[in-house]
Chains A and B, each alone.
Chain A
Amino acid sequence: MARYRSLRDFDWPLVVIALAICAMGILQIYSATIGTAWAEAWWRQCLFVGGGMVLLWLAASVDYHTLINQAPVYYWVSMGGLAGVLLLGKEVSGGRRWIPLVGGFHLQVSEFVKVVLILLLARYLADLKGDRLQVRDLLKLGALTALPAVLVMKQPDLGTALSYLPILAMGIFLAGLRWQHAAALALVGLLALPLGWHFLKDYQKTRLVTFLDPSRDPRGAGYQVIQSQIAVGAGGMWGKGVTQGSQTQLRFLPVPHTDFIFSAFAEEHGFVGVVVMLGLYFLLLMQVVQNAQMAPDRAGVYVVMGIAALLLFHLLVNIGMVVGRMPVTGIPLPLMSYGGSSVFSWFLMLGLVNNVRLRRFVN
């Protein structure tokens, strides 16, 4: 195979935007954890981003067709991993989500399952003939997505389990759907809502109820939403400045370095900072989509668009939660939130985007 790949062909704007977002995240982690037990998180996050760059390069260097080929193996290995988490994972505040690794690090398998699922669904969809999905295909795709989602729900981690759905939705959307099937899906979804409610944990129900009306329980479940809104609002147009946000510094804000990092950011950098930050995310998303438009085949399109859908979903749910327009589900903000597993999986996905881009001139 000719060495058509070179560093010049990488999507450099994409990488630079991603690193800029990471840098803002590290600054915010530093500011939010100063003087707490998490004070060392910011430089660990630096290490995670450094490791992420290596992963990005690795994920770009092997032809994505090969990766798609091997997707079933990854899939079943990661399902085993999810089962392992349930059996012997480390319990942190009522949930089992992590597998302990050497050196005090923990692996959150459910984050990496996203990457695997994107590859697997791309493989299945790219192989289909015809321009509409059959019922049989829908059922298979649904089952492949439902298995990890159910395992993750058991941890329990509703947010991450839900984040597998946009990948499936995007796949179905691109592959094409009969309108009768779409209607049937919508109906099934509607009917499943009360049933799903039944399976939720109590705290998840409370979160959903308080989303609809935070003032119901201002010191309990609504506390996070209200405090987050106060933090955002207190930031005003120009923000209070780094390490100056009272909501963040006095710990009124829950987990200001992970799930609510954007709320801390909004308090300290204001509306201007928010617009810049959202602009960066928008550019990142559009850059990803552009790579999908230039993809050499359908497999590439499915991979890149799956990533785009996942990114949009994360931004909507996490930032929507910060401004009180989405329920509290506890999913991290891509590239900003503290956490090795999340950072690594996002850099892996950006690597896949580059992977597809590097092969656009083939055939």
Chain B
Amino acid sequence: MNEYLNGADDYTAPAERPLRDDAKPAGGRIALFQYLALGVFLFLISGFWQLQVRNPEFYSERAERNSIKALPVLAPRGKILDRDGRVIVDNHSSFSLILSREHLKQEHVPIIAAGLNLDRGELERRLYRFRSRPRYEPIIIKEELTRAEIAFVEAHRDPEGLPELELVHAHRRLYPQNSLAAHVIGYVGEVSEAELNSPEFIKYEPGDVIGKAGIERQYDDHLRGVDGQRQVLVDNLGRERRVIGFKEATPGKNLELTIDLDLQVVAELAMEGRKGAVVALDPRNGEVLAMVSRPAFDPNQFAGRIRSEDWKLLVSNPDNPLLNRAIQAQLAPGSTFKPIVALAGLESGAIDENFRVRCPGGASFYGRYFKCWVKQGHGVVDLHKGLVQSCDVFFYNVGNRTGIDDIARYAEMVGFGRKTGIDLPHEAEGVVPSSQWKMRQFRQKWYAGETISVAIGQGALTVTPLQLAYAMGGLAMGGVWYRPHLVKVPGRREPPRIAKINPENAGKVVYGMYGVVNEGGTGVRARLPGISVCGKTGSSQLASNQALKSGKLGQTLKDNAWFVGFAPCESPEIVVAALYEGGEHGYLAAPIVRDVIKAYFDKKSRLGAALVAENTRRFGPQPPRAAPWRAAP
């Protein structure tokens, strides 16, 4: 661009330079620069003279006063309500303790820790975590102060005491008693250092209390308010001189769930003392009416800052109470999968209604003998009887004729093998095995013998309780699936997923499931007078029979019991799936589903007014008995 720059060659060596290179003419201008420099220095000195000598008192007093204490005005989170507006999660007032680090004396740390029942090491780690934040920014070191602790703080307010401590009014989360809907609601907690480093949590700051699981996590933006701030100028004795800024806190917004507290309570009671999950959906719109997972945890333990020993206890529990089994347990569906196999057989044309099989108690396929669950056999079985009696041999044959890829196609059509898209974090997908899947996962070809196990819901096939309820609900609707959700988004109604299913075929399958409950089938315990309940039992093995024989039998290796039911059969309003882990046989899960369906129709016919009142009394949120200090600051 510049011939001057490129022409390094025509630059002459210094020794041969002409006389014009004399430096002298610049002398006058250099002297001028010296005067300019002198001027600049005088200008700067005069600035310091102004500030430091003319009126230093003005500034030194300002500096002395200049301890801005920024006290947070904590915003309450929104309440969580059930579909009828009854409060599930509330807040109650409490006091939190704030430490202003600019006045903190190191020798006070052990005194503070002892007086407030804090672990000294934990307190010091906390201070260390906040070391890079400005020191005038106070940090919360304890929530939910007891009367004695508040008295301790009040008694040390004087300048010689612990002036670095300050009480602020806080709103603590109050969750229902007895772990009601614990997994759906989730819990809140202080954002951890590891979370702060991940992009998902970029908007939070250290010390923020955020939703950590369930609805609290999923709808954190909706529920959390915006903390306000009170900026006060304090003198060196810690007295407030003047409020220089006040920003009101914006409370979080309330959130109405689709959960029906009454159904939820019935489902919770039915699962009491058991391990497993219950999901109730309205198949007409995807609303989740109840969702239970057991064993559960007490979210109130998390509402403040969970003690580390409580946390260790929860995490090390082999039953894993933090797992939301309704959406995260991925287990073989057992015989509850048979209606799907029947549908696949009918739709693909592999079988028709005249297809019959004789069940002698077992059958051989590809050189292996597969037993039926009834040793003496079912005799001649057609589709209806096959579903009603849950005949394994019949479905071995159906599966064998249909082939794995058609079974997989229909399993995926009803919603297995992928997330339903419910508005909860960390939903599991389950597995739908197919020849493609096996090639992808194991680089092996599919063996026809494996299809036989899948035909009765065993093998590599796994589903979650939510997927099962979702699949059956949509199937009962004739092939219309609404995305399950816990919160109604106002205005926008999401269109359902619609599959082309021959209504006649769907009707045959539903009729079979009617027989399961009402014609002396395996699910007769789900029967309800006056209501046509359809359903299907299932029991799935956790281990192969060989493993069972080889010993090491324990409670955890008992079969899982499943039941999925809906009612009324012809136009379903509710579909319920129950998983009873270690429940041995599906008919033991049937009463759980029956109870929930019964509660639904009882409430609908206004027989359940007493139930509503009773449940509100028993399970509604109540402040803890030892109510904290109530006086306003």
Contact = CB atoms under 8 A, between A and B. Distances in A.
Nearest to A131: B25
Contact of B45 (A131, A251, A278, A285): A278
Closest 4 CB pairs of A and B: A233-B59, A323-B47, A234-B63, A236-B56
Nearest to B13: A65
Contact of B49 (A129, A131, A271, A282): A271
Interface string A305-316: 100110010011
Nearest to B134: A251
A292 interface: yes
B308 interface: no
Interface in B10-25: 11, 13-15, 17, 20-23, 25
B64 A363 contact: no
A282 B23 CA distance: 24
Given A231-B63, A305-B33, A140 B4 contact: yes
Given A129-B20, A235-B52, A324 B60 contact: no
B610 interface: no
Interface of B: 2, 4-6, 8, 11, 13-15, 17, 20-23, 25-27, 29-30, 33-34, 36-38, 40-41, 43-45, 47-53, 55-56, 58-60, 62-64, 66-68, 102, 131-132, 134-136, 245
Contacts of A199: none
Interface stretch (A156-164, A189-197, A295-303, A343-351): A295-303
A355 interface: no
Nearest to B6: A72
Given A251-B134, A271-B53, A232 B4 contact: no
Contacts of A129: 20
A173 B58 CA distance: 43
Given A233-B52, A271-B49, A325-B47, A289 B14 contact: no
Interface string A120-141: 0001101101010000000010
A251 B136 contact: yes
Interface in A266-295: 266, 270-271, 274-275, 278, 281-282, 285-286, 289, 292-293, 295
B52 A237 contact: yes
B342 to A, nearest CB: 60
A233 B55 CA distance: 8
Given A129-B20, A271-B53, A230 B59 contact: yes
Give the contact-size bracket for chain A: 35 or more
Contact of B47 (A140, A236, A320): A320
Given A266-B48, A312-B36, A282 B62 contact: no
B41 A289 contact: no
Contacts of B245: 219
A127 B11 contact: yes
Contact of B102 (A235, A250, A298, A323): A250
B66 A292 contact: no
A233 B58 contact: yes
A222 to B, nearest CB: 14
Given A319-B44, A325-B47, A69 B55 contact: no
Contact of A282 (B13, B36, B37, B47): B37
A232 B59 contact: yes
A352 to B, nearest CB: 16
Given A246-B64, A275-B45, A289-B33, A301 B52 contact: no
B89 to A, nearest CB: 36
